[in-house]
Amino acid sequence: MLLVARNLGSTSWGLLSIANSIVTLVQLFQDIGIRDALVIFISQNRGENKPGNVRVFMKAGLLISLTTAIILTLVLVVLSDYIAINWYNEPDLGFLVRILSLAIIGRALLFGSYGVTVGFERMELRGSLRIVYSFMKSIVSPFLVLFGLGTLGGVLGEVGPILIAGGLGLYFTILLYKNLSDEEPEISLRSAIKTIFSFSLPLYLANLLTSTRMQLLTFLMGLYLGDEITGNWTIVLWFSSLLSFINLPVRTTIYPLFSKTTDISELEYVYKNSIKFATLLTYPLAFTIMALSNQIIEALFTSDYVYAALFLRLYMITFLFSGIGGSSNVPLLNSQMKTKETFRIKLIPFLITIPSCIVVIPRYGAVAAIILLILGMTVSKFYAVSRVWNIFGFRFHLPSTIKMMLAGLTSSGFTYYLFSRISVNPWIELMAGGCVSVLLYLTLILLMKTLTPADYIRLNKLGKELGPVSKPFLIFLTLIEKINSHL
């Protein structure tokens, strides 16, 4: 993606981003919460030793996903030229949208297989799907763009990898299905479809609000601010994918753990330690990116992206909510069938951000829109904390969150001050600044005794359940535990 954006330039990258935003906006209507429904119903029925029910739920999930994906793909193909000419006055956009629409089918297969593999607790399969997709996407798009295909190469590089990864996910799903016994199910296919819809409808609406919020921001920027600003904004969104490599294993792991139990003490144990784990790793990365955003954009992209550094610094604020359960609140509520609460949590930032941005973006630009995005998320995350407290009677561990926040602010502030006064090669500044920021953060974490001996034991136990990131995390945890023991 970095090479694609660098070689296309902000205007062509902006056109590709607009095409992506149109397709992504449409495919949100396909993402009806099937993934989460498959996780919880497969986990529950496997725990109750009901393989027949598992088979029925797998069939129902695949049927719903493929049917909605095919219908929406056909709709988008028919309307692509109308949207391109009448909404954007970009005739070439229609062809790009038609090709990109095929990604809706690939995404339906990929996300459905995510739900199946997590429900079976086959994290290695879930991880391999993500690795295959990410690797192919990082290779195909740059190759085609550098080969001279321009924006078309970028489009093909989006569609090809997700179709291949979706096909691989379907293959994994079939293998897991065949390994189940032929026990008679207790429910029919029709009943399974109804059960999935009754569970996933609030989740669908919640996911729709969450995803459309970001897509509508991109859509509005493209509509009112042009290709250049849109290209700068979509560059920033890539960094959310980078941070998801930390947050995603936590969400993926704790969801089936939450789904298996209704015991409050067990839920509290997983909840609090998942927050400490996510915050311990998210904060140094987020604060380092904030401190070195100028160097990051200068090193990775061309001088075309003049607004991206400021956008990036502001956007990183949204990842600081991991300290109050940003990655754990929704999985906890969903696992205990509190999906209506999830819908309310997702509705709040949508209502605060989007109606206001319709007025704010044409008048005050992208920075005001990002500030509204942060405001909406702030209200939403604190509302989620209050609901978890009211329903379950526990919340995040405030002292450790405060200590990690102080460590992050101090390390980020010092790094920004130091490297804003040094002018050498941006790559040298980036590497040296990253080391300074992370090492200072870890030093402060240790000096403030943020983690207790009991925390190391709990995090070690949780870390063993984290699939592909388990081994590096346990090595990291062991290292800081040994250092802490000598302080």
CA distance 466 to 461: 10
Pull the structure tokens for residue 473: 């995390």
pLDDT of res. 402: 92
Q: Where are the domains of the chain?
A: 1-187, 222-487
Largest CA distance in the chain: 71
The gap from C-alpha 363 to its chain's centroid, in whole angstroms, comes to 30
CA distance 46 to 252: 17
Q: What is the mean pLDDT of each run of 10 residues along the chain (487 residues)?
A: 58 70 77 80 82 89 89 87 76 79 89 87 81 79 66 75 90 89 84 84 75 79 80 80 69 71 80 84 90 87 79 91 88 83 87 88 88 92 93 89 93 92 86 91 86 72 61 71 69
Contact between 154 and 97 under an 8 Å Cβ cutoff? The reply is no
pLDDT of res. 146: 66
Contact between 83 and 22 under an 8 Å Cβ cutoff? The reply is yes
Contact between 172 and 42 under an 8 Å Cβ cutoff? The reply is no
* 389-435 tens-digit pLDDT: 999 999 988 888 999 999 999 999 999 999 988 888 888 999 999 99
* 7-21 tens-digit pLDDT: 566 566 667 777 777
366-392 helix and 308-315 helix, angle to the nearest 10 degrees: 10
pLDDT of res. 357: 87
What pTM did the predictor assign? 0.69
